[in-house]
């Protein structure tokens, strides 16, 4: 990835995927790799009608990645209408939008992600103008499909991103 923001996004998704893999007793490396690779075509093929994530799906298959990963990448795009049946696919969908939203919340806080609570994130979710590109319905649906309460889901993602705060530049601002 060439863009710093996309690099941070996939690293945030990776962190959240690792957290859920550990929590659910799944293959942490597969889940982490899925988080890293899910948007591999986004910069080069941003047109949702013909490009992302179709090109990524094609490339992952061509290179022999596990079908579970391919299915999860396909399932993270609602418009492809690929059912999310595996825990891997459900988790990727659940953390994709939310990890970016939590990062956006951290960037406007003096303490960054440190001390962030699910309550403060929920408050921002109610503000349509804040991080307006984030689909709130996808955030809620992701938690539902994963079978976790929204507060619990927020806590998992916050903790995962906090563990990588330096790398993701979600640390307290200095004067």
CATH number of the domain that 141 lies in? Answer: 1.10.3210
Which tokens hold the place of 166?
A: 């330096």
Is 172 domain-assigned? no
Q: Where does residue 84 rank: exposed (0-12), middle (13-18), buried (19+ CB within 10 A)? A: buried
Assess whether pLDDT exceeds 80 at residue 98: yes
Residue 170 lies in a domain: no
Q: CB within 8 A of 158, min separation 6: which ones?
A: 102, 113, 116, 117, 118, 121
pTM tops 0.85, yes or no: yes
With tokens 């992701």, the residue in question is 142
Domain presence at residue 168: no
Say if residues 70 and 89 touch (Cβ distance below 8 Å).
Answer: no
Q: What is the pLDDT of residues 15-28, one digit of tens each?
A: 999 999 999 999 99
Answer yes or no: is 132 within a domain.
yes
- Tally of structural domains, the chain: 1
Residue 169 inside a domain? The answer is no
Residue 131's domain spans which residues?
4-163
Residue 63: its pLDDT value, please?
A: 95
According to the model, what pLDDT value does residue 45 have? 72
């Amino acid at each position: 990835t060439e863009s710093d923001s996309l690099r941070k996004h996939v690293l945030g998704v990776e962190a959240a995927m690792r957290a859920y893999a550990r929590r659910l007793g799944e293959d942490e490396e597969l889940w982490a790799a899925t988080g890293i690779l899910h948007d591999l075509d986004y910069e080069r093929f941003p047109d949702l009608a013909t490009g992302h994530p179709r090109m990524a799906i094609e490339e992952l298959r061509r290179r022999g990645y596990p079908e579970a990963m391919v299915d999860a990448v396909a399932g993270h795009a609602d418009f492809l209408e690929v059912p999310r049946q595996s825990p891997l696919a459900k988790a990727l969908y659940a953390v994709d939008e939310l990890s970016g939203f939590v990062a956006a919340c951290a960037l406007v806080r003096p303490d960054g992600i440190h001390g962030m609570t699910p309550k403060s994130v929920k408050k921002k979710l109610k503000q349509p103008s804040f991080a307006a590109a984030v689909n709130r319905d996808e955030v809620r649906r992701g938690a539902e499909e994963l079978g976790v309460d929204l507060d619990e889901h927020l806590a998992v993602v916050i903790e995962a991103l906090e563990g990588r705060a330096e790398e993701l530049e979600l640390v307290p601002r200095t004067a």
